[in-house]
Structure formats: C-alpha cells, structure tokens
Structure 1
Amino acid sequence: MARIRIEPGNGLQSAESIKSLRGTRESLALTDEGNSFGSDSELNGYTSERQTDKYGFIGGAQQYSEQSAEDIPPEVLRQREAKWLDMLNNWDKWMAKRHKKMKLRCQKGIPPSLRGRAWLYLSGGKVKREQNKGKFEELDRQAGDPKWVDVIEKDLHRQFPFHEMFVARGGHGQQDLYRVLKAYTLHRPEEGYCQAQAPIAAVLLMHMPAEDAFWGLVQICEKYLPGYYSVGLEAIQLDGEILFALLKRVSPLAHRHLKKHKLDPILYMTEWFMCAFSRTLPWASVLRVWDMFLCEGVKIIFRVGLVLLKCMLGSQDKLKTCQGQYETMELLKTIDTRYMLEGFLVREIIELPLSERDVEKEHLAQLRRWKETRGELHCKSPPRMHGAKAIMAAEPPSRQDLRQNPTIIVESSLATNKNVEGQEEDKARIKTKEQKNGKKTGTPVASNPEPSDISTKPTPPIKDAPLQGSNQSLISTEHDTYL
C-alpha cells in the first residue's frame, strides 16, 4: 500500500522554488515523496475503503467537511438553475443590459450542474471554441515538443492526487490533463508550459470536457492573467508589488509588519495568484472564488489575498506570535481554517472595497517604478481584461457563437402523444378542406400518403430518480438539455 502524505502549506514559496516554477520537475506545493496513490492496483485497494465527497475528493486537506461549505436547500437550487438557464439562453442580452444582476448571481454561487457551462461562457471560451472549430483536435493529433511533453508527463500525478478524477496514474483525468496542457504548448510555443497551469487546467477538467477546458485555459492565460506563465514570471512579480501596495490601504499594520521583516510578496503570493487559490482554499471556497473571478476578473484574486493577509496579520495580538521573518512565513504557510471557510471568505471578498480602477491605477504606478529600478519588461503581455463583460466587449460574439447546441432532448410520453394527436388532427383538417374545395371546383382530390417519418407510437417515459429529494443537482455538460 502506498503511503499517502499531504503538505499542510498554503502557498508559501522559497526563492529557489519560485525559480523552478517553469519547466522543472519540482511541484508548486507538493514534494515528490508520497504525494500520489501510485498504481491502479494500489488505488483499487485503497478506494474500496473510502468514499468520495460531493466534489470527488477521497481525502486530503480540500475534502468536504460540514463546516467548510454552506448547503443550499434543493428548492432554492432549482430556482437558481432555472435563472441560470435563462441567462445562458440569452447571454448577450444579459451581458449588455443586466450584468449587475449576473454579477450578484455569481457572488451567490453558480449551481453545480451548470458551473462548467457558465464558466465557459463567462471566460469567453465558448466563443473561442466556436470561432476555432477543429483547432483543438488538430493540436491534439500533434506530437508536441519533447521538452514540454516530458515535463508535463512528470507533473500529471501531482495535480489533485486526492481527487477521484486524477488519482489513478494513466487514468482518464490524467490523460485529458496531458492533452490540454500539450495542446496549449502547441498553441503558444513561445510561452510553452508552466507548472502553475496544470492545476488551472485540472479544475476546468473537473467541470467540462477536454476541448472546453483547453479554451478555458487559453482565456485565463491570455485574458485574465496575461504574462503569469511566461519566461521570467515578470507579471506575477509586478502583481506582487501591486498586492503589497494595496495592503497598505487595507491593513496598514500587516503592511508595516511585512515591510519591517523584508518579506517580499513573491514569497507568499506566488501560488495563490498563479493557481487562482485552487491549491490553497477548501474546495467549496475555491469554487465560489472561481465563480466570481471568471465574472469580475483578477480583482477577486487580489481581494482574496488581501483578506487572508489582513486576517492573519491585521492585529497586534496576532503579530505577537510572529516576531521574526521565519515565524511570519510559517504563519502564512498555515492559514487559519476559519478565515478560508466559504461563508466567511465570500462575505469578506464582496465587502472589501477594491475595484478594477484601483487595480489599474496601482498597476500603472508599479509599472513606472519597475521601469525606474529594473528597466523595461522583457515580456510584453496583452492588456488584462477585468472579467466577462470586458472580454465580451473586446471581442463581440455573434448570436451563432453563443447558441447552445443540445444533443439530448428529454420529452415526456404525454407531450409525444399530444404531438401525434395534433399531427393527426391537422391532417384531417387539411384533407376535409381539400375535399370541400374539390367539390366546389369539380377537380379530383388526390389522397395524401402518410408521412413516413411521423411515428404514431408514443415514446416511453424516461425513468429517472426524482429530483425533489436530492441535495445535489444533476451534472450537466455544455451539450445537455435540462428538464
């Protein structure tokens, strides 16, 4: 039996590990020793004794616990699903005229059954996919650059090793993750592969097929976090300085303490930002943060970082336990669970006054300072898009790009019988009318043959578990149609 171990870290990085983020074998948070379940035989022997939680985790720090998430009553969940289905069916109208309402619904949490589809629409991945049909299949068929393929293969087992989708070496989850990451290196050969992209892609794969996850990854890398995964990691270093400057306004005490002990932001915020907190927070909190992040943009990531720093270092009592640099780093490495719980964290994120304008204003200030002290940036990243509305405004989609294409249509036997009866009544009316017209004009009336494609046999009802007694919604992909 493989020995299982998980690091308790919350994103704290050493300078050496930061240098190894791009194109190395080192993991962002986990060591090589004992952080995978190993072979399928070991997996089968282990999982037979364990049960997955509602998110698919069979263990680890991100597994569901009653205090980590807020359960939503089934009737409320159904109402939210109906509202989100209406939004998805009229996406351009909602984005143009009712974006504030959409933002509020993202803050409340996207229904689990529609989260993957909603993320794809919010990120603009749906439009990208429609405008580049066949692109992913073309990239998927290519072999890929050996230097990136080798690194990707060595990283696969490190991504969420306690999740049922990625627990088996060579399983379908790891295969799809490889396909998505390899396709991205072919899509952006000048950028290649960065380890922090793997957990981003893995989170997307938990909610959507490989092709959709690929386009979601493209949008996050190019629109939400441009330059984060490029050589030199200049964009993440710049955002670290922005975070530190904003902290002075949010929590002067925390800012003063970190400055006193010369703790560079890159030491504690690298994994937070590059992985969009996917490897730091309890899973219920991760999903809620991503709902808001994909709607409102990178300001949500800044808000989460500021909330955690304020909660951990924002009072004199808390600072008594971390008098030095080492103690402070250890404190940030093991963030108090109560500050990361879904209910508390989401409220703090929403209430924190930080806008896109604040982020951009500080971005320009830090960019000037960077040029004065370090010179020009080596990596010229495209401008950052602050959320779904900005992305859609920059590249307006057509109605065809946003149209949903259901492949499963659920129809009750009652509706089918009514349709058949209606067709029979229509044929009888037409025949009677033609006969009357024939009598008036004296022209013979030809008999109408029965259409061969109309079946008079009613479709049997589809048997399924009742929805009313369930705490969880049906899981739906982009091509499913809802009842």
Structure 2
Amino acid sequence: MANVQVGNGVHRKHAKNQRSPEESVTEHESTSMGSDYELNGSTNTEVQTDKYGFIGGAQQTPGEIDDVPPDVLRQREVKWLEMLNSWDKWMAKKHKKVKLRCQKGIPPSLRGRAWLYLSGGKVKKEQNQGKFQELDNQPGDPKWLEVIEKDLHRQFPFHEMFVARGGHGQQDLFRVLKAYTLHRPEEGYCQAQAPIAAVLLMHMPAEDAFWGLVQICEKYLPGYYSAGLEAIQLDGEILFALLKRVSPMAHRHLKKYKIDPILYMTEWFMCAFSRTLPWASVLRVWDMFFCEGVKIIFRVGLVLLKCMLGSPEKLKACQGLYETMEHLRSVEPRYMQEAFLVQEVIDLPLSERDIEKEHLSQLRRWKEARGELHCKSPPRMHGAKAIMAAEPPSRQDLQQNPTIIVEASQGHDSNIENGKRAKKSKTEKNKDPNSSGLLNPYPLATDQSQGLLKEGTLQGSNQSLSSAEHDTYL
C-alpha cells in the first residue's frame, strides 16, 4: 500500500440549499480531505489507502493484487480515447469490439467518462443543460431530505471520499440524491439508490453522477426503486426460474426450503453488487453492466448461486433455511475473485432474449396470482446499444469536453520577467493549431504526449489523457 497525503486542495462552493444536511457542522468547515479528517476527530495528516481509495473495511484491496501491465494499460487508454472521440460510429458499426473491451476492463483513468457514454448519461446531460443546477438550487421535499441525511454516513464509510461526516463526498451524495427526488417526485428516494450514486461519485463529478443515476433508474433497472419493490420481486422470480436451467441442484435446494429469492438477491440486484463483491470485481461487473445491461446482474447472481449451492458437497453445510441463508450471506472469496468471476459471467449462456422470455412468463403468473402491477415502469433497455438506438444522439451531444478548464489570466505574459521565455511561449502558441487561449492544468508528460500523437488519436482535439483523472473523483 502507498502512503497517500490527505488533502487535494479542492474547495467547492455550494448553493444555499446544500447547507441543510451540514448545519450541524461548524460554520468554517472546509471540504478538502484534510479538513474532513479533522472534522471526524483525526489530526493525522497521512492515511493508508488502497488503489481505489479505501482506508479499511472488507472492500479494501490488498497491495499485492496484480495490476494490468503499464504498457497494456497504456494501449487500452489510447484505444478508449479513440472510441470516445467517435462514439456514435463505434456503437453503430463496432459494438462487438466495444463489448469486448468492456469485458477486458475499462482503464481506470477513463472509467467515469466511459460509464457516462455507455449509459447515455452524457447525451441526457447535454440535452438538459442547466437541469441539474436548477434542481440543485431547489430546497427539496423535507420528508426525503431527512431520510437521505440519515443514510449518508452508511455509504462506504471506509472510503476516503465518504469517511468524514459532512465532508465533500457526503455533500455531493446528498446533492445527487436530493436532485433525483425532485427529478422524479412520484418515485422519491429509495435507500438502495445511495450506494449506486456513491459509486458513480467515486468516478465523476456530481452532475455526471446525477445523470448516471437517472439512466440506471430509468433505463437499466426501471421500477427497482419504486414503492412496493414489485420490479425487484418480479426479477427475483425470473432469477429463480433461470437458475433451474443453470444449476438444477441449487434450484431444488432453494425450492425445498422455500427460500424466496427476495431474501438473498435484493441487495445484490438493487445495489448492482456494489456492497457484496471485492472492489476490483465490482468495477469489472459495472463495466460490463453499463455495456450489456441487466443480463450481467442476472449472470453474476446465477454464477454465485451455482458456485455456492451447485454440488452435493456444498450442500452438506446447508441443511436448513437458516444455514443456507448464512451460507449465501458469506460468499466464499474465491468465487468473487475478479478473474474467476468475470470469466464465469462471460461464459454463462444467458441472453437478453432469455431474460425477456422469462419476464413475460413470470409477468403472466404474477397477474394470475396478484393482479396487475401497481408500478408502471418504462421498458427495460438491455445495455448501451439499446439505449442509443431508442434515443439517437446528435454529434454535438457526444462531443468530449475537458474535465477541468482554467482560463488564462489577461496579464499572463506581462508577469513573465524573462522576455525570451515570453517570446518562446508566444511562438509555441502560434504553432499550435489547437490553441484556444485555455491552459490545461494537468498536461501530459512530453514523452506520453508524443506517443499519443504518433498514434494519431489526439490530432485535431484539445482533449488530453489527464493524469489527474483517477479511479476516484476527489
């Protein structure tokens, strides 16, 4: 593990309405990570974090976990930049290649941006300019604000972004969840939305996380977070029916002890396994989920059930309902390990057609037994391609924007005492056809920049692969 200096020097201004969840915090609070720790009663200026930002807990990743070799990672970054620059063409003509690259794992430096493109959140954001700011500035419904406030400290309490009460991570989480209750007042807030929003915030700014949450709730998992949880119950029945084909032994065992799917799969599905799997596995599952849709969630659930209950030896310790539930609550680490789980998920033969066929079958049974569904959720979209086909974006909607732009001050040249340096700077600016008068505060190192330009990926674009765009958005 590496010693990471706490404090990123980022300070944010919030609208007046954001003060509500933090009124108990002192007036002079700062939202940098260093101040977050001080507010939590810690004066230590250094903490040990893993590569994902966890400072402890079950999801902290050991330091000895093998990473993707740097040269391979670099090649993947270049390929993903190329895809993002021509996203519509890749999705229309080379979707299988996009799918394959998602299965291999999205590079950490581009994961947040890729998720936003895959989910259609990027298009939603561009087509609704200013919408999040408008919602952010509204006070919100007090009944939802109170519930959201109570849930903030429960979301990944061992992650450096959410460890401090009233810290910037919890503030942004509050903003995103509050905005969603205003965006969908008829749906309001569900506790399972909080970890979903928290994972998104680890990879992108609050506005992007909001639109990512909107897409998950409306396109990927519609109805999951509505009152009554009918959609999740229906998917539980679908999962159980599919299990009969994948692992008849596990199916017979669960049926024998009358273990309802809602007892073991609710948190799995509603939180998209973000509270169940090791973090490396969570990210790989989410990479595939954003690309291929809910079938990935079904596949993960089926793989775990098959591994845990799919043989006589494994069932010896599960001689009853209680023992079985305890077994499912503590999934063996080897079955959740990244390489094993991802390969099993990819290999499992389960398509969108299989899910929809079973969906119709279970829907008929539901109506016969319980009547019509009270939740009228929109149709489920099976992945990025289906979402794009349903709402075709314009080229402008897909245009990449720099993560951070800093305007050059008017007196920049006059502040340079060395005339030669000023002249050189001016000459280089004139030679750069992409110069826009804006400075990139996180430029590429010279050797990296030359390598990318040789690949031809960034020509004609002022977008760079920022070294500051880490797996965790701080």
Shorter-normalised TM range: 0.7 to 0.9
Question: Counterpart amino acid of 1:239?
Answer: D
Q: Which residue of 1 aligns with 2:272?
A: 276
Say which of 439, 462, 476 aligns to 2:469. 476
| Residue correspondence of structure 1 range 256-295 to structure 2 within 5 A | 256-295=252-291
Match of 1:348 in 2: 344
CA displacement at 1:41 relative to structure 2: 4.0
Cα distance, 1:284 vs. partner? 0.4
Aligned partner of 2:94 in structure 1 is 98
- State the identity as a percent: 78
Letter matched to residue 130 of structure 2: G
Alignment pair present for 1:63 and 2:70: no
Higher RCO, 1 vs 2 (CA within 8 Å, ≥6 residues apart): 1
Answer whether contact 1:40 1:169 (CA < 8 A) is retained.
no
TM-score normalized by the length of structure 1: 0.78
Give the AA of the match of 1:476. Answer: E
Secondary structure at the aligned position of 1:51 is classed as: strand
- Supply the distance in 2 between the matched residues of 1:454 and 1:272 (Cα, whole angstroms): 47
Within the alignment, does 1:382 sit opposite 2:378 as a pair? Answer: yes
Against the structure 1 CA distance between its residues 477 and 56, is the aligned structure 2 distance closer, same or farther, given a 3 Å change threshold? Answer: closer
Change (3 A) 1:319 1:83: same
Q: Mark the CA change 1:397 to 1:460 in structure 2 (over 3 Å): closer, same or farther.
A: closer
Q: 1:208 aligns with which of 180, 204, 214?
A: 204
User: Are 2:81 and 1:85 aligned?
Assistant: yes
Note closer, same or farther for the CA distance 1:178–1:421 as it changes in structure 2 (3 Å cut).
closer
SS at match of 2:225: coil
Distance in structure 1 (CA, Å) of the matches to 2:436 and 2:219:
49
- State the shift of 1:66 in Å: 4.8
Matches within 5 A, 1:279-428: 279-406=275-402, 408=405, 417=427, 420=430
1:286, distance to aligned residue in structure 2 (A): 0.3
- Measure how far apart 1:454 and its partner are: 12
1:105 offset after TM fit, Å?
0.1
Which residue of structure 1 aligns with residue 50 of structure 2?
53
1:155 aligns with 2:151: yes
Q: Distance in 1 between matches of 2:158 and 2:120?
A: 30
**Residues in 2 aligned to 1:137 and 1:61: alpha-carbon distance in whole angstroms:** 35
- Structure-2 change in CA distance of 1:227 and 1:462 (3 Å): closer
Aligned ranges 1:137-286 → 2 under 5 Å: 137-286=133-282
- Give the 3 Å change call, closer, same or farther, for CA 350–454 of structure 1 in structure 2: closer
Distance 1:88 1:376 in 2: 42
CA contact (8 A) 1:70 1:343 kept: no
Structure 2 unpaired stretches of 5+: 1-35, 407-422, 450-464
Q: 2:353 corresponds to which letter in structure 1?
A: R
The CA distance in 2 between the partners of 1:232 and 1:159, in whole Å, is 23
Q: Is residue 108 from structure 1 mapped to residue 101 from structure 2 by the alignment?
A: no
**What does the per-residue CA deviation read over 1:326-363, in whole Å, with 9 as the maximum and x for residues that have no partner?**
10000001100010010100000000000000000000
Counterpart CA distance in 1 for 2:429 and 2:42 is: 52
The CA RMSD over aligned residues, in Å, is 2.9
Greater gyration radius: 1
Contact 2:443/2:466 (<8 A) preserved? no
Confirm or deny that 1:129 pairs with 2:118.
no
Corresponding residue pairs, total: 403
Whole-angstrom distance in 1 between the partners of 2:50 and 2:336: 19
Structure 1 unaligned blocks of 5 or more: 1-38, 424-452
